[in-house]
Structure 1
Amino acid sequence: MSTEKNNVALLDEAYRYWNDNREKAFEKWMELMDDNVHFRSMAEGAPGMEFTKACTSKRELLDYFEVLANEWEMLYYKVDEFVAQDDRIVAIGNTGWVNRRTRKRVDTPKVDVIRMKNSKIVEFFEIYDTAKVLGAARE
């Protein structure tokens, strides 16, 4: 199996597990992360979404997932398509969440730009509708 196909297979399994088991089931993601993963989120730590600040280690990313699971309830996370070239994979789909504090729901397109090395994620940048997400996070 080519590196591209292997990387897509690993990610496809992680996304399916994430969707099927919801926000608290992030162990598959943690298994795929390199110890020095560089993770960025479109909200970049904005007020109400402070946990989305850039992470530069697996430990910091664990904090991200724990706060995400405590503050948001996942409704679904679907990937419709993967685009892969060399060590770069783009996952294109959509996701829905409810903020546990405000009870506001958000459905947004979702694109993840990922770079892998030796079957581990070394870079991850998540892109989504920040206006919708920030609106749901605020009273």
Structure 2
Amino acid sequence: MSFDFTVETSRGMNEVIEQLESALKEDQFGVLWDFDLTEKLQEKGMDFATPYRILEVCNPKEAQHVLSVNKTAGYFLPCKLVVFEDNGKTKVGMPKPTSLIGLADSPELFSIAEDIEKRLISAIHKAIDRK
């Protein structure tokens, strides 16, 4: 079982991120932070030219539910989605919430993580499949 989920598209990175934000919003997930890793590394003098962005996303209702079951589950929040360019393609991926929450060893949290994972994967597919 893989710890991550990644898909690729020929669409441009900015278009994918715009569509991803829209798809996430449809399921009450918001982008809390859009971190341009390339820009930050270059600002620090690193030779890194690959367009690479990390989106931290959250559904407040789900976050509250998870934290009410186990406050240490906050170590895994918010969820991270990564968008980057690789060999002329845009890749979108994430660590699977089920893999991360499995570290907490809580069956109730695992079922919540399964639902969130399905919803995030659905949002990713919507974002790359939209015309």
TM-score (norm 1): 0.36
Q: Which protein is richer in strand relative to its size?
A: 1
TM score, norm. by length of structure 2: 0.38
Question: Normalized per residue, which structure has more helix?
Answer: 2
Report the structure number with the largest CA radius of gyration.
Answer: 2
